[in-house]
Structure 1
Amino acid sequence: METHEKIELGILAIILLIFIESGILMITEGWDFFIAFYTSVVTISTVGYGDYVPKTFIGKLSVIIYIFVGVGTVAYTLGNVAGFLIEGHFRKYFRLRKMEDKIKKLNNHYIICGYGRLGKIVAEEFKKSKIPFVIIDSDEKVLEEALEKDPNLICIVGDATSDDVLKKARIEKARGLITVVTSDAENVFITLSAKKLNPNIYVVAKADKPSTLDKLIKAGADRAVCPYIVGGMEIARIAINPDIVEFIHSLIAVEEDIEVRRYVIKNKELDNKLLKDSGIREKSGATILAIKKGNKMITSPPSDIVINVGDVIYAFGTREQLEKLKKYVEGL
């Protein structure tokens, strides 16, 4: 039985006891209802003014039984009330302190603004990829339910449009921000605030209306996505080329641990080297799908292509292979 249910049961039992004792005193002592009720309340509260006392044997016996049962019931109820208040307060306090300690350690992380349907999917993908992230949502109940399922989540209750809340999420140290709150206007505002606080942060923003996409880009979003457009395009692809789409999905399925990622070459040792001499394949096992040099995209790059620091590469492989590739091309 939950604590609040015990409290409700205790209060009901106290009220019932008071009315039963009031009825007994009215019958045995001949008192009116108010006097009997008053005496019952004074007795169960252990105040005991003594201005009204039973004279009959039955009345006195009922009071003796009433004191033992009533005082015990009151003590039981008050104990549950105190436990409920103390437990709830301190649990919330210690959870908050623990959360603040986790947030202070965050670095090169992502901020997810909005923990609705899309926000939950993004968080799950980040967890699978072991990418650190913090969630911001204004609905405390939603975050409490999420923490009950996964105590390791890092959450902040607040309005993501507020600079103070974004600073609390250490936006100045963040690698990226995903804003998927319900309102397009708020997504635009969050994007503006994020870019103001950290001009280098990578922002991906959701738009419910296609007309908002351009506004998000102008606000500073690096990528703006309309789920309805993306979903519609995916449905069309499946309908037109079901076998090809199924094949692609099977390659990048979660069970297979296969992904496509984008990296910028920062390792100076790779500058001006031929792709075949770079050692990328040997050291990581990943496959290079494309190389972007400036505004030129080279798909299926030949082995004799020269790579340079600043080139963007798109690679295909397992998470382990891609992690090795990241460390190698970024010189970590």
Structure 2
Amino acid sequence: MQRNRLPLNAEHSQSYSHSSAQSHLPMRGLIRKRMKTLFAMLIGLLTFQVLVIWAVEDLTLFESIWITMTTVSTVGYGDYAPKTLIGRLSTIIVLFIGAITVLTLIISDFIEYRFYRRERILRGLWIYKMNEHIVIINTPQHGGEQYFLRFASQIRSNPGYETIPIMLLTRQFPDGLPPELTDMGLVHFHGTGSDPSALQAVHAGSARHIVVLTTDENDANADSITFDIAYRLSELNMGYQTTSECVADRNRSRLKALGIRAVIRPIRTYPEIMVRAVVAPGSEKVLEDLFNYEHDHPHRYDLLLEDLNWADIVSALIRHDIGTALAYIDDDGEVICQPHIKEPIKGKGLIVLVRSSDTPGLDVVKEALERYRKFLEKWRDSQSSDAES
């Protein structure tokens, strides 16, 4: 971590000057300052009234407080009432004219503040106080809503991420997030990842993870925008917490050179790959390999399975340098993933992760399983012989 790291949160910097965000800070501050002033005036008026009633009326301090509060709240139970001229004049001037008016102004300002806050939230201009959250920069060109829904549901299925806040930094959704996203607890800020002020507004400096999506998954030129954002994050020493998409494989090394933790291809129909890259860095490489023939790929072998458990099948394929068993096909045609290791396997096919450059044939797999059966028989025979002796 660099010692001279720049402040990334709005409350940590006095130079926050983003035009769209700055415009609402004076208004919000003005309303809150006015409400504080009105509260101070109200407390002063009520204190003065309590002291006057306590001094001129034949009431205890508690009774003076009681009559003051029931009067200013317009409840007026009638159990106590000022009887002296000074007490009545004070009630008219201090409470009826002063305190009740001030209380009405406070309520009016509070309602105005709530409407103002709601408007800023809808427009993506409200600055939330967040920590240990996920910041997602950019929105998929197509199907962004569904992508975010699946991303949120998948990542919150992981231990330690059940309630993690998710902030979107995007220029999409100018009229507010769809109800489905807000129901999932997602919020957004209207801006771009290349703007330092927008990064401040989403508290990127205190985020647990930062995800940079490409603006167009079908255009390699979109990598230039991604690179600009990644460079900005790298300058701010946040590459170690960033996972980025990259359209062209030739640009991956450039992003890696910036210190980006994980770089993956944009696969919009499977946001689970991005989730794996965020939660378990490195696993995205395994998943990406399943989608191409560059290194490894899953291959189906149609053969009869019996007399072996899952541990035996996995061991046989690894011992004979064939590949890694991923699943098997049972007699009903269902694909069974990750069965129990001691479960006897009965089926009609295997799904195996094999090398694309040297894919073993079906006969090789059958021979490997048969050799392993003979090995197990010899081992069992030796164990029984040892037991008899």
Taking structure 2 as the reference length, the TM-score comes to 0.35
Flag the structure with more relative contact order, 1 or 2, with Cα contacts below 8 A and sequence separation at least 6. 2
